Amino acid sequence: MSIKKVINFINSYKLFLVTTHTSPEADALGGQVAFLRLLRSLGKDAVLVNEDRLPRECAFLSNSDEIKIFSPKLSGIEFEAFVILDCSELKRCGQVHTLNTSGKPILNIDHHISNQYFGQVNWVLPYASSTCEVIYRLFKAMHVNIEPETATALYAGIITDTGSFRYPNTGAFTHQAAAELMRCGIDSSAIYRQLYQSIPIAELKILGKILPMIKRAAGGKIAWFSVSQKSLGVTRVDFDLSDQVLAFGRAVEGVEVAVLFRENRKAPEEIRVNLRSHGKVDVSKVASCFSGGGHKTASGCTVTGTLAQVRAKVIRKIEEQL
């Protein structure tokens, strides 16, 4: 779809509700606050509502304190149009979509190849590294100045979804966008520290509990971790450790795919599955078998069952590609 239709959509309304997927990370949240700042630069406004609270490492993002957590009490919230970011399907934003009781028009902005084009206006760029890269393009197309706080949010999203420019989804344009964001006055080293080097000591100890749980399958080509709330001995982890865990798993010699299985704290019968690949296995195809999605080298899904049941099903699907 042409970016002109996206611009026309934005120009047609004054007040927006903006959301993103459950368990949001820096690409989702960076895109969300950057989109809010875009709207305000245009004399418009938005309400930010998410299913889940933001992880601690993203609290430094400007305007993140404006994000409301979904509650049925928000059912009377006023808005003219609904914007959904970084979601391949409507249900990825959790219960937030139920706030759209009167069927307000939806703008769907995403970069996942598995996107289901559920909006009235869909701007999906599968070749983009991240949703923040897509929104960067929107700033440029609308000739809106990118302030340092906005640039920080966009850069945080880009380095998160590209693994700090290490993943295959990093293209030439990604580097060009990052370079311009740096020229906007951001502190790239500080952003990296906030995202990856600010783990609380208590949660670093939790990482120390998870890493020895590593197991291998398929002749050592799959490395997996199975984490229950009981095994951690804690009720809640405020820092998202999945990237750190999977980075270690994928770094093991001979491993093509790393998988993290973990119980949903709110619903133990649901298992969150995060997958990372070097590229030989398309983990987005694995995730799509379980109503999930993502990218060829980084995907996820939520599957109902016990840890053992879900683990067996997912590993079987991965082995089909090896």
* pLDDT tens digits, 3-41: 999 999 999 999 999 999 988 999 999 999 999 999 999
Return the CATH superfamily for domain 3-196: inorganic pyrophosphatase (n-terminal core) (3.90.1640.10)
Instruction: Name the E strands within 42-196.
Output: 45-50, 68-69, 81-85, 106-110, 121-124
CA distance 258 to 157: 22
Specify the fold of 201-319: Diaminopimelate Epimerase; Chain A, domain 1 (3.10.310)
User: What is the residue type of 129?
Assistant: S
User: What is the residue type of 151?
Assistant: A
The side-by-side arrangement of strands in the sheet containing 68-69 is: 68-69, 45-50, 15-19, 81-85, 106-110, 121-124
Indicate the DSSP class of residue 120.
S
The pLDDT of residue 64 is 97
The pLDDT of residue 199 is 84
pLDDT along the chain (322 residues), means of 10: 93 98 94 98 98 94 98 94 96 95 97 93 96 98 98 98 91 98 97 91 88 96 92 62 90 97 84 93 93 86 94 97 92
pLDDT tens digits, 211-230: 999 999 999 999 999 998 78
The pLDDT of residue 236 is 57
Outline which parts of the chain fall under CATH 3.90.1640.10: 3-196
| Number of C-beta neighbours around residue 159 at 10 A | 26
Outline which parts of the chain fall under CATH 3.10.310.30: 201-319
In the block, tokens 């998988």 appear at: 259
The pLDDT of residue 237 is 57
